[in-house]
Structure 1
């Protein structure tokens, strides 16, 4: 019996592990945020509940510029219900392969790490839902597919329970 309990505990812990961004270190093309966002970018995305139901679709127009070492991303969202939102990111290098970022609806600071074609962000987002504000934990992964395409998948959780996922496709414009 003790053996079964130990085995069950190990399996549960193994199910909680996540892949490290360093797993992608040899993947190409190498993700360079500054280079990727050196041109205007369009993105298309959706939010899905943990059941898989799509509850929101959106388009994002992203313009960027540099201020010294900082990369400023001006994101303008248009949702399928006609609502609009703007998020202004200020991203700064924080050592080799590391970034930190701030935005108006990010609680504290976002921390990111790049390896190969992947970037993992972790941050807390103040999200308005039905007239209330919920602070969500964001586990945000970006993967560069080619020179002009990024795929982004974010797991949103509250108190350790996944509430949904956001999927985005980014495309650099000529």
Structure 2
């Protein structure tokens, strides 16, 4: 009986395991953050609560600049209710090929890994809701579709409880030579 219980528990735990960034190592086109997040970009997105209801829609105008392996991504959000927000990321490539990212509303550092066409960021964000601020966990996945389009899906949780997801579609209107 104990062996059966252990097998069931192991199966349950394995079933909860999500994708790993290395699952995408052979996918093309290959994502190079420095190339894609360079220059002007646009994104359109939405936040859905855990029931799937769209709670917020938004547009993001972004500008990416780089000096070596350090990039600055300036994001300017406009929400469907007319409110605005700005987030400025500093991205740094690490010796092991991973990425670290910081922004004013990120707790500590975002840690990112790239393989093939995919990027997975994990971080905590200070999220303002009405007059309160909550620290929430993000499991953020980006997939390069071609030189101009990237899709992004981020799961948001608190204490392991699903709060909802953010979905974005990035568009790069002008390709840089490296991305062509």
Normalising by structure 1, what TM-score?
0.95
Q: Size of the alignment, in residue pairs?
A: 174
- Structure 2 gap segments, 5+ residues each: 175-180
Tell me how far 1:149 sits from its aligned partner.
0.6
* Other-structure match for 2:143: 143
Structure 1 runs (4+) deviating above 4 angstroms are none
Does the Cα contact within 8 Å between 1:97 and 1:115 map onto a contact in 2? no
Tell me how far 1:96 sits from its aligned partner.
4.1
Does the Cα contact within 8 Å between 1:39 and 1:173 map onto a contact in 2? no
Tell me how far 1:4 sits from its aligned partner.
4.7
Tell me how far 1:16 sits from its aligned partner.
1.8
Tell me how far 1:47 sits from its aligned partner.
0.3
Does the Cα contact within 8 Å between 1:24 and 1:117 map onto a contact in 2? yes
Work out the CA distance in 2 between the residues paired with 1:86 and 1:134. Answer: 18
* Other-structure match for 1:71: 71
- Structure 1 gap segments, 5+ residues each: none
Tell me how far 1:69 sits from its aligned partner.
2.5
Q: Deviations over 1:38-76 (max 9, x none)?
A: 231000000000110110000000011113421100000
Does the Cα contact within 8 Å between 2:118 and 2:143 map onto a contact in 1? yes
* Other-structure match for 1:39: 39
* Equivalent position SS for 1:81: coil
Work out the CA distance in 1 between the residues paired with 2:108 and 2:38. Answer: 26
Work out the CA distance in 2 between the residues paired with 1:172 and 1:3. Answer: 54
Work out the CA distance in 1 between the residues paired with 2:129 and 2:16. Answer: 28
Tell me how far 1:9 sits from its aligned partner.
1.4
Q: Which range moves more in the overlay, 99-108 or 87-96?
A: 87-96
Does the Cα contact within 8 Å between 2:34 and 2:69 map onto a contact in 1? no
Question: Aligned-pair RMSD on alpha carbons?
Answer: 1.2
Tell me how far 1:8 sits from its aligned partner.
3.1
Work out the CA distance in 2 between the residues paired with 1:97 and 1:116. Answer: 13
Normalising by structure 2, what TM-score?
0.92
Q: Deviations over 1:74-99 (max 9, x none)?
A: 00000001000000000000124310
